[in-house]
């Protein structure tokens, strides 16, 4: 039996894959170590969504390879999106790597660790028969704090966004049945999870492939009956599938976080058309108006892309004006990445990197002022907070999160009230907000 060191990169969806692989290895009798110097085998679960993520993954693999000389590592395994996308290149250029496992070979991790031969991942666009999706019977060992857990409700994507490589890496969209998700949710609750975070490449398409109408709304209604869980949060909601029933479930069920994470990418009609996303500024404005009308005090989070091929200064100014008018609570910005295998790579009129970087800075500067203003509006309110544990900022502070703050994405609520007594992770407390600190908040426990 081996001691296995695990490095998990990328999004929460990738983290769930890592937890499944760790669960399989533990079931086989292997142990996990956080010290790579003590690991017999090191697994790097990689990301390859954009150029920076690809480079971070390559750097992590090279760093892990050093422990073949300076530690006791005898096998190095590269898994995940980078492995699925570039298996032959990894084999050719990284002699230190002993096995390559794609996104659909998770179940073969024990064979790879044992040194048994594992075939290279299939090329992009692999057949449906090879696609993988875990279920409630799959071993899984969580590496998140016990009071919160990610639940992958579906895998893959059927959208054809011209900038995105994910459908070619992850395959067609496929949902897990509601009974399977209920089994997993009950187990997670029994393990102490107070918050469940539902993830997939496109959560609002949940159930469409199973013939379910309003599938995500039906899933949320079912999951809200799981005892012990207080918050159910949904991430990655595609704007074109946000219906009234979903919004009404969110507004009418106290367990469902009033939090809409809805990546829009842009608002210029011609940029959206080139992205193969459809939509327009006026359409998105009406959608947001409907969301805010049906879900009082909803938190709106989005991401925008700047520097897409053909994006003019006029397009960017339209994007700036839209974000200024809407005042999103949370907004992330990333620069377009010219990814091999995507349709956008063949588009002309590329935007200079320095121009894209300048546009990102401008939009982030504008959003920082908006977010600070919206945070200041919370001062004086008393709100439920999920305690996370000691703050990384100071030993004198405890960190928690409001319903409006997603884990590892948004800011936190810092509690500086020593008279409140011990505050245990996973505990809910009512906190009076006393100050806004940029992205974070400061508060005291209401007794």
User: 3-state DSSP helix/strand/coil percent for the chain, to nearest 5?
Assistant: 40, 20, 40
Report the b/e string of 106-117 with b at 16+ CB within 10 A.
bebbbbbbeeee
pLDDT in tens, 263-279: 999 999 999 999 999 89
Taking residues 283-300, report their average pLDDT: 98
What gap in Å lies between CA 320 and CA 323, rounded to an integer?
A: 5
In this prediction, residue 233 has a pLDDT band, given cuts at 50, 70 and 90, of very high
pLDDT in tens, 153-192: 999 999 999 999 999 999 999 999 999 999 999 999 999 9
- Looking at domain 382-445, its CATH architecture is Beta Barrel (2.40)
Is pLDDT above 90 for 78? yes
What gap in Å lies between CA 441 and CA 50, rounded to an integer?
A: 31
User: Which parts of 191-268 fold into alpha helices (H)?
Assistant: 215-223, 244-252
Is pLDDT above 70 for 127? no
What gap in Å lies between CA 417 and CA 168, rounded to an integer?
A: 50
Residues 6+ apart with CB under 8 A from 305: 163, 265, 266, 275, 333, 334, 335, 336
Q: What is the location of CATH 3.40.50.12160 in the chain?
A: 3-122
In this prediction, residue 126 has a pLDDT band, given cuts at 50, 70 and 90, of low
Locate 224 and state its tokens.
């809200």
CATH fit for domain 148-376, picks 1.10.150.120, 3.40.50.12780, 3.60.21.10, 3.80.30.20: 3.80.30.20
In this prediction, residue 250 has a pLDDT band, given cuts at 50, 70 and 90, of very high
CATH class of the structural domain 3-122: alpha beta
Other beta carbons less than 10 A from residue 338's beta carbon: 16
Does 124 or 317 have the greater pLDDT score?
A: 317
Q: What is the location of CATH 2.40.50.140 in the chain?
A: 382-445
Which pTM was predicted? 0.95
Q: Indicate the Cα dihedral angle 155, 157, 163, 168, nearest 10°.
A: 80
- Three-state secondary-structure class, residue 61: helix
Is pLDDT above 60 for 123? no
213 membership: H or E segment, kind and range: none
pLDDT in tens, 378-409: 999 999 999 999 998 887 899 999 999 999 99
Is pLDDT above 60 for 125? no
Q: What is the location of CATH 3.80.30.20 in the chain?
A: 148-376
pLDDT in tens, 333-380: 999 999 999 999 999 999 999 999 999 999 999 999 999 999 999 999
């Amino acid at each position: 039996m081996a001691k296995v060191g695990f490095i998990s990169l990328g999004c929460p969806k990738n983290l769930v894959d890592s937890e499944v692989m760790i669960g399989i290895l533990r079931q086989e009798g292997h142990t996990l170590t956080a010290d790579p110097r003590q690991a017999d085998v090191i697994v790097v679960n990689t990301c390859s969504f954009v150029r920076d993520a690809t480079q971070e993954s390559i750097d992590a693999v090279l760093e892990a390879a050093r422990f073949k000389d300076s530690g006791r590592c005898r096998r190095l395994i590269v898994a995940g999106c980078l492995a699925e996308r570039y298996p032959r290149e990894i084999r050719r250029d990284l002699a230190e790597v002993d096995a390559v496992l794609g996104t659909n070979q998770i179940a073969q991790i024990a064979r790879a660790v044992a040194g048994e031969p594992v075939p290279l991942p299939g090329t992009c666009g692999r057949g449906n028969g090879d696609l993988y999706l875990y279920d409630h019977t799959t071993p899984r060992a969580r590496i998140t704090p016990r009071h919160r857990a990610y639940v992958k409700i579906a895998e893959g994507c059927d959208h054809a966004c011209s900038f995105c490589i994910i459908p070619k890496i992850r395959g067609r969209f496929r949902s897990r049945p509601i009974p399977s998700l209920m089994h997993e949710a009950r187990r997670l609750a029994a393990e102490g999870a107070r918050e469940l975070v539902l993830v997939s490449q496109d959560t609002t398409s949940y159930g469409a492939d199973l013939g379910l109408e309003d599938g995500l709304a039906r899933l949320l209604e079912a999951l809200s009956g799981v005892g012990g869980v207080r918050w159910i949060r949904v991430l990655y909601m595609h704007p074109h599938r946000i219906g009234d029933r979903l919004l009404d479930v969110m507004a009418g069920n106290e367990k469902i976080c009033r939090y809409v994470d809805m990546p829009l990418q842009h608002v210029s009609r011609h940029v959206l058309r080139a992205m193969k996303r459809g939509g327009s500024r006026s359409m998105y404005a009406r959608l947001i108006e409907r969301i805010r009308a049906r879900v009082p005090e909803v938190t709106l989070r989005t991401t925008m892309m700047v520097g897409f091929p053909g994006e003019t200064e006029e397009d960017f100014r339209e994007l700036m004006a839209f974000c200024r008018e809407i005042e999103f609570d949370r907004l992330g910005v990333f620069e377009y990445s010219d990814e091999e295998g995507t349709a956008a790579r063949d588009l002309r009129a590329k935007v200079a990197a320095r121009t894209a970087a300048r546009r990102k800075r401008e939009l982030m500067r504008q959003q920082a002022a908006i977010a600070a203003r919206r945070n200041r509006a919370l001062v004086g309110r008393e709100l439920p907070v999920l305690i996370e544990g000691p703050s990384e900022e100071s030993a004198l502070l405890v960190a928690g999160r409001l319903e409006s703050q997603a884990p590892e994405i948004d800011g936190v609520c810092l509690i500086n009230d020593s008279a409140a007594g011990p505050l245990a992770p996973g505990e809910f407390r009512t906190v009076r907000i006393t100050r806004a600190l940029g992205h974070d908040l400061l508060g005291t426990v209401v007794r």
